[in-house]
Amino acid sequence: MRILAIESSCDECSAALVDYTKDGALPVRSVATFSQIEIHAPYGGVVPEIASRNHLETILPMIEQAFTQAGYSSTTDNPKAPREWANAIDAIAVTNRPGLVGALHVGVSAAKALAYAWKKPLVPVHHLEGHIASLYLGDQARGLPLPMLVAIVSGGHTNLYVIRSEPELWPPDVLKRSIVARSRDDAAGEAFDKTAKLMGFPYPGGVWIDRKAKGGNPQAFQFPRALPQKSILEFSFSGLKTAVSMEIARLKNSGEFEARIPDLCASTQAAILDALLGKVALAIQSYGCRSLAIVGGVAANSELRLRLEQSWRKWGLSQPPITPPMEYCTDNAAMIGAAGAFRVVQGAALSPTAMLTLSAIASPDL
Ligand code: KG4
Ligand code: ZN
For residue 333, how many other CB atoms are within 10 A of its CB?
36
**C-alpha span between 264 and 268 (Å, rounded):** 6
Question: Which segment of 18-32, 67-81, 133-147 scores lowest on mean pLDDT?
Answer: 133-147
The per-residue pLDDT for 142 is 86
Give yes or no for residue 366 having a pLDDT over 80: no
Kind plus residue range of the DSSP H or E element containing 314: none
Alpha-carbon span 184 to 229, nearest angstrom: 15
**pLDDT score, position 96:** 97
Q: What is the pTM of this model?
A: 0.91
Query: Over the chain, what is the mean pLDDT?
Result: 95
Which ranges constitute the DSSP H helices of the chain?
37-40, 48-69, 81-88, 101-118, 127-133, 174-178, 188-198, 206-213, 238-253, 261-286, 302-311, 333-345, 352-356
Burial label, 69 (beta-carbon count in 10 A; 0-12, 13-18, 19+): middle
pLDDT of 259 above 90 = yes
Give the model's pLDDT for residue 351. 82
Cross-strand bridge partners of residue 235 = 183
For residues 14 and 60, the answer to whether their CB atoms sit within 8 Å is no
Task: Give the number of the ligand closest to the Cα of residue 193.
Answer: 1
CB 66 within 8 A of CB 16: yes
Do residues 240 and 191 lie in contact, with contact meaning Cβ atoms separated by under 8 Å? yes
Write out pLDDT tens, residues 61-112: 999 999 999 999 999 999 999 999 999 999 999 999 999 999 999 999 999 9
Q: Determine the Cα–Cα distance for residues 307 and 173; give it in Å rounded to an integer.
A: 32
- The residue whose CA is least distant from atom 20 of ligand 1 is 207
CB 339 within 8 A of CB 126: yes
Q: What is the mean pLDDT of residues 20-46?
A: 93
| 153 phi, psi to nearest 5 deg | -125, 95
Rg (CA), the chain: 21
Asked if 49 and 32 count as a contact pair (C-beta separation under 8 A), the reply is no
The confidence score (pLDDT) of residue 41 equals: 87
Is the pLDDT score of 353 beyond 90?
A: no
The residue contributing the CA closest to ligand 1 atom 24 is 301
Q: How far apart (Å, rounded) are the C-alpha atoms in residues 337 and 136?
A: 11
Which ligand 1 atom sits nearest the alpha carbon of residue 211? 26
Q: What is the CA 156 to chain-centroid distance, rounded?
A: 8
Got the DSSP string for 205-264? Answer: -HHHHHHHHTTS-TTSS--------TT---B--HHHHHHHHHHHHHHHHTT-TGGGHHHH
Quick: pLDDT tens for 199-216.
999 888 999 999 999 999
Alpha carbons 220 and 223: distance in angstroms, whole number: 9
Pocket of ligand 1 (CB under 6 A): 10, 154-156, 189, 192-193, 204-207, 210, 296-298, 300-301, 330-331
Q: How far is the CA of 154 from the centre of ligand 1 (A)?
A: 5
pLDDT tens string 266-310: 999 999 999 999 999 999 999 999 999 999 889 989 999 999 999
Minimum CA distance residue for ligand 1 atom 21: 297
| Ligand 1 atom nearest to 156, measured from its CA | 7
The CA distance from 50 to 11, in Å, is 9
